[in-house]
Amino acid sequence: MAGYIFRRVLQAIPVFFGTTFLIYFMVFAMPGDPIVALFGDKTPNPAVIEQLRQQYHLDQPFIVQYFLYIGGIFRGDFGTSFSGEPVTQILARTFPVTIRLAVLALIFQSVAGIAVGLVSGLRKGKLFDSSALVVSLILISLPIFVIAYVAQFVFGVQLGWARTTVGPGAPLQDLILPAIVLASVSFAQIVRLTRSSVIETSGLDFVRTAYSKGLSRKRIVPVHILRNSLIPVVTYLATDFGVLLVGATVTEGIFNVPGVGNTLYQAIIRGEGPTVVSFVTVMVLLYLVVNLVVDLLYGLLDPRIRLVK
């Protein structure tokens, strides 16, 4: 077990280099000079552009820029944004907010999604199943910005149940509405996934054996069916956690959450290489940990699965 974890941690090293390299290259490959854009619709003098390019090492070849950046990371220097703020500081203030939001959304979507999916699967083809399909369909066919605007207008402006945007310090109660909006996107996926898994598990021998042994539904459903249906769902939730961390751009923008998605999007658009790469680096590390935890969780859900040989 410890050996397995150790190997996984070692594997993080190539992933770290692979990701940072790829990301840095992508930011570099983006057409358009970020320095020119700093001047808005005003055309800057070439001499001033040159000065600024030097200041941000943008005059260096790609590979030099990359190693300057990596070298900095090992000295604890993640670079600075165009606004002069150290990237480490940006990371420190945005990640906690986004993690709060992502965890909240994850809780909402897994609780609601698994519950609805389970009931749908057990009552396949019944009214509840069909209604769940219709609701998931509506949610899936509306882009998130539509859901977010409608939720903000109805619950924030008209009913006044929630603050329209997230207030200073991003307190938990302000994050509930954006979290529900975020959760709505994956809700449909989790319902379908749980449902399909539950249907499959219900047909397995051990479930039939359990019924024929005369065990009650109350025991069979959670212990035999649900537990054995969770593997694909848990895997999906783990990948979704990654999506929630960065993919919350639109929702964070609409609810003005000072989190990762929002900041990262601005940095991408502005072509701030160091900021983008640092964010993604932290993302990757988080993501590797989550994946490791999930792989270990498989063993708990289905003791037959042994990753460790």
Partner 1 sequence: MKIRRIGIGALALAAASALVLTGCSTGGDTPSTSGSNTSIITANGSEPQNPLIPTNTNEVGGGKILDEIFAGLVYYDAKGAPVNDVAESIETDDAQNYTIKIKPGLKFTNGDPVDATSFVDAWQYGALLSNAQLSSYFFEDIEGFSYDADSPLTGLKVVDDTTFTVALTSPKSDFPLRLGYSAFYPLPKTAFEDMAAFGENPIGNGPYMLAGEGAWKHNEKIDLVVNPDYDGGRVPKNGGLSIVFYATQDAAYADLQGGNLDVLDAVPDSAYQTFESDLGDRAVNQAAAVFQSFTIPARLPHFDGEEGKLRRAAISMSINREEITKVIFEGTRTPASDFTSPVIDGWTDKLEGADVLAYNPDEAVKLWAQADAISPWSGTFQIAYNADGGHQGWVDAVSNSIKNTLGIDASGAPSPTFAEVRTAITDRSIQTAFRTGWQADYPGLFNFLGPIYATDAGSNDGDYSNPDFDALLAKGSSETDVDTANKDFQDAQEILLKDLPAIPLWYSNVTGGYGTDVSNVTFGWNSVPLFYEITKG
Partner 2 sequence: MAPLEETPLVAIDAVKVDEKPSNLWIDAWRDARRRPIFWISGLLILLIIVVALLPSVFSPVNPFTEKCDLSLSNGDPTAGHPLGFTKLGCDVYARIIFGTSTSISVGFIVILLTTVLGLLFGAFAGFYGGWIDATLSRVGDIFFSIPYILAAVVIMSVLSQYRSIWTISLAIGLFAWPSTARVLRAEILRVKQSDYITASEALGVSKIKILLRHVLPNSIAPVIAITTISLAAAIVAEATLSFLGVGLGGTIMSWGNDINQAQRDIRVHPQTLIWPSLALSITVFSFILMGEVVRDALDPKARALR
| Site residues for partner 2 per CB under 8 A | 7, 11, 14-15, 18-19, 22-23, 26-27, 29-32, 133, 137-138, 140-146, 149-150, 153, 188-189, 192-193, 195-197, 199-200, 202-204, 231-232, 234-236, 238-240, 242-243, 246-247, 249-250, 264-265, 268-269, 276, 280, 283-284, 287-288, 291, 298, 302, 304-305, 307, 309
Q: Which CB sits closer to partner 1, 113 or 271? A: 271
Size of the chain, expressed as the number of residues it contains: 309
The entry of partner 1, partner 2, none near residue 227 (CB within 5 to 8 angstroms by kind) is none
* Encoded tokens for 167: 């207030």
Q: Which CB sits closer to partner 1, 91 or 220? A: 91
The entry of partner 2, partner 1, none near residue 152 (CB within 5 to 8 angstroms by kind) is partner 1
Least separation in angstroms between CB 63 and partner 1: 22
The entry of partner 1, partner 2, none near residue 64 (CB within 5 to 8 angstroms by kind) is none
The entry of partner 2, partner 1, none near residue 19 (CB within 5 to 8 angstroms by kind) is partner 2
SS3 percent helix, strand, coil of the chain, rounded to 5, is 75, 0, 25
The entry of partner 2, partner 1, none near residue 37 (CB within 5 to 8 angstroms by kind) is partner 1
Least separation in angstroms between CB 13 and partner 2: 10
Least separation in angstroms between CB 59 and partner 2: 21
Query: What CA dihedral angle connects 153, 157, 158 and 162, to 10 degrees?
Result: 100
The entry of partner 1, partner 2, none near residue 33 (CB within 5 to 8 angstroms by kind) is partner 1
The entry of partner 1, partner 2, none near residue 181 (CB within 5 to 8 angstroms by kind) is none
Least separation in angstroms between CB 109 and partner 1: 23
Q: Which CB sits closer to partner 1, 61 or 168? A: 168
Q: Which CB sits closer to partner 1, 55 or 131? A: 55
| Site residues for partner 1 per CB under 8 A | 30-34, 36-48, 51-52, 55, 82-85, 89-90, 93-94, 145, 149, 152-153, 156-157, 160, 163-165, 167-169, 249-250, 252-256, 258, 262-263, 265-266, 269-271
The entry of partner 1, partner 2, none near residue 63 (CB within 5 to 8 angstroms by kind) is none
Least separation in angstroms between CB 31 and partner 2: 5
Q: State the SS3 of the chain.
A: CHHHHHHHHHHHHHHHHHHHHHHHHHHHHCCCCHHHHCCCCCCCCHHHHHHHHHHCCCCCCHHHHHHHHHHHHHCCCCCECCCCCEHHHHHHHHHHHHHHHHHHHHHHHHHHHHHHHHHHHHCCCCHHHHHHHHHHHHHHHCCHHHHHHHHHHHHHHHCCCCCCCCCCCCCHHHHHHHHHHHHHHHHHHHHHHHHHHHHHHHCCHHHHHHHHCCCCHHHHHHHHHHHHHHHHHHHHHHHHHHHHHHHCHHHHHHCCCCCHHHHHHHHHHHCCHHHHHHHHHHHHHHHHHHHHHHHHHHHHHCCCCCCCC
Q: How far apart are CA 203 and CA 210, in angstroms?
A: 11
Query: Which regions of the chain does DSSP assign to beta strands (E)?
Result: none
